[in-house]
Structure 1
Amino acid sequence: MAEPGDDSVAIRVVAMPADTNPLGDIFGGWLMCQMDLAAGSTAARRSGGRAVTIAADSMTFLRPVKVGDEVSVYATLDRTGRTSMRINVEAWRRPRHAAAAEKVTEAAFTFVAVDDDGLPRPLPEIDDTIDIAADGTTDG
């Protein structure tokens, strides 16, 4: 399985000692936080404003992340509803001095666009002349 391209990376960070459990592996919660941030960035671009996480489904931890690993998180807009967005997220690790990366975690996050009062609001319609990339960015 090939790592997604650099042009679709949402977050890239190095795992640090403060992010570990007593066994030296990176906390799953830390990794989930990075994934939520990546999905949130995609949701904000697509919604044109504030969007909040309402669910994280199918979180699967495939391999551990170690201190010093470079972690790249990729977020892809899967589908949209009237107010909601489902965003597929993958996290990959690359040992600090290695060339190859491996997928370590995947999940699907659901976000809802909200107004200034925190109430659901409709997603803006997409103009046919604007292309929405898989990661939620626009090109038009």
Structure 2
Amino acid sequence: MQSFASEPSGTLTLQTITMPADTNPFGDIFGGWVMAQMDIAGAIHANEISHGRVATVAVGSMVFMRPVPVGAIISCYTSTLRIGNTSIRVKVEVWIKDFLTHQILQVTQGEYVYVAIDQQGHKRPVLQHTQKSD
């Protein structure tokens, strides 16, 4: 079972507001939409590390702790878990701020794995573009 924090950890990488168009049939924000925001945040984080293109290759287990209401501010915090030869493992936490209550609550967290790729879509070393030239 995943443990959840009392406050966000990592870097605030993505923040947006939830909209009615992103709801499920019951009026809550669709979980797939939340996962897409997490993937975007994780990719931004991995892009900054690899200084180039990355592709999502895996998503670790996730538990949704609570529904996300329409109008909540959703914030994705990211941190690096591991940098391999061609891959980057990123932890993504999702927190919401409810407009009505002003509470800040964790919704979920997950691990996303990205692979650094070149312009042809082939794997490349993560550190290839981070080395400084003289």
The verdict on a shared fold, with TM-score over 0.5 as the criterion, is yes
Q: Give the residue type in structure 2 aligned to 1:116.
A: Q
Tell me if structure 1 keeps the 8 A contact 2:87–2:116: yes
Tell me if structure 1 keeps the 8 A contact 2:8–2:93: no
1:8 Cα deviation after fit: 1.8
Q: 1:10 is matched with which residue?
A: 13
- Which of 34, 49, 54 is equivalent to 1:51? 54
1:97 Cα deviation after fit: 3.6
Q: 1:114 is matched with which residue?
A: 117
RMSD of aligned alpha carbons: 1.7
1:15 Cα deviation after fit: 0.5
1:100 Cα deviation after fit: 2.8
Q: How does 1:12-27 map to 2 (within 5 A)?
A: 12-27=15-30
Gapped regions of structure 1 (runs ≥ 5) = 128-140
Q: How does 1:80-95 map to 2 (within 5 A)?
A: 80-95=83-98
- In the comparison of the two structures, how many residue pairs are matched? 126
Q: Following the alignment from structure 2 to structure 1, what is the Cα–Cα distance between the partners of residues 43 and 126?
A: 15
Percent sequence identity over matched residues? Answer: 42
TM-score after normalising by structure 1: 0.84
- Is 1:35–2:24 an aligned residue pair? no
Gapped regions of structure 2 (runs ≥ 5) = none
Q: Following the alignment from structure 2 to structure 1, what is the Cα–Cα distance between the partners of residues 8 and 62?
A: 19
Deviations 1:20-79 (A, max 9, x none): 011111000100000000000000000010000001111221111000111111111110
Tell me if structure 1 keeps the 8 A contact 2:43–2:56: yes
Q: How does 1:60-75 map to 2 (within 5 A)?
A: 60-75=63-78
List structure 1 segments (4+ residues) > 3 angstroms apart after TM superposition: none
